Amino acid sequence: MPLSEQEQRLLDEMERHLLQNDADVVTAPSGDRSLSYRNLVYGALLLLAGVGGLIAAVALGPQLGSVFSIVVGVIAFLAMLAGVMLAFTPVRRTGPTQQEERSSRGPDSSSFMDRMNDRWDRRQEGR
């Protein structure tokens, strides 16, 4: 059974808003936190230094002694772990969030779906 003109228009509007909001969810991290490029670079460098230390501990183990090799290996592993944690730890953004930008435009400029999304967000935050 074909949709009426009004139902088709509502369906098109819902699809348009769903695509727009899904793109926001995929590209924006939760809340006001995002990954920092600087932390990614420092974390990758620390990870590489840990891998290098682990390789050095294995390669130089027989010449330097097993205790020293184990200590260097543990330190290298901790450096790798710290590098991964640093790289993927989100940091707080300093600019206005998308919700603040939406609410600063005023009620007249937002569509019905935007107002419903704002109400849903406020309900989820417990306001």
Rounded CA-CA distance 91/9 in Å is: 41
Do 73 and 57 form a contact (C-beta atoms < 8 A)? yes
pTM of the predicted model as reported, rounded to 2 decimal places: 0.48
Q: What is the pLDDT of residue 12?
A: 84
Rounded CA-CA distance 102/8 in Å is: 27
Q: What is the pLDDT of residue 121?
A: 84
- Report which DSSP code applies to 83: H
Lowest mean pLDDT among 51-55, 79-83, 106-110: 106-110
Q: What is the pLDDT of residue 82?
A: 94
- What does the pLDDT average to over 77-87? 93
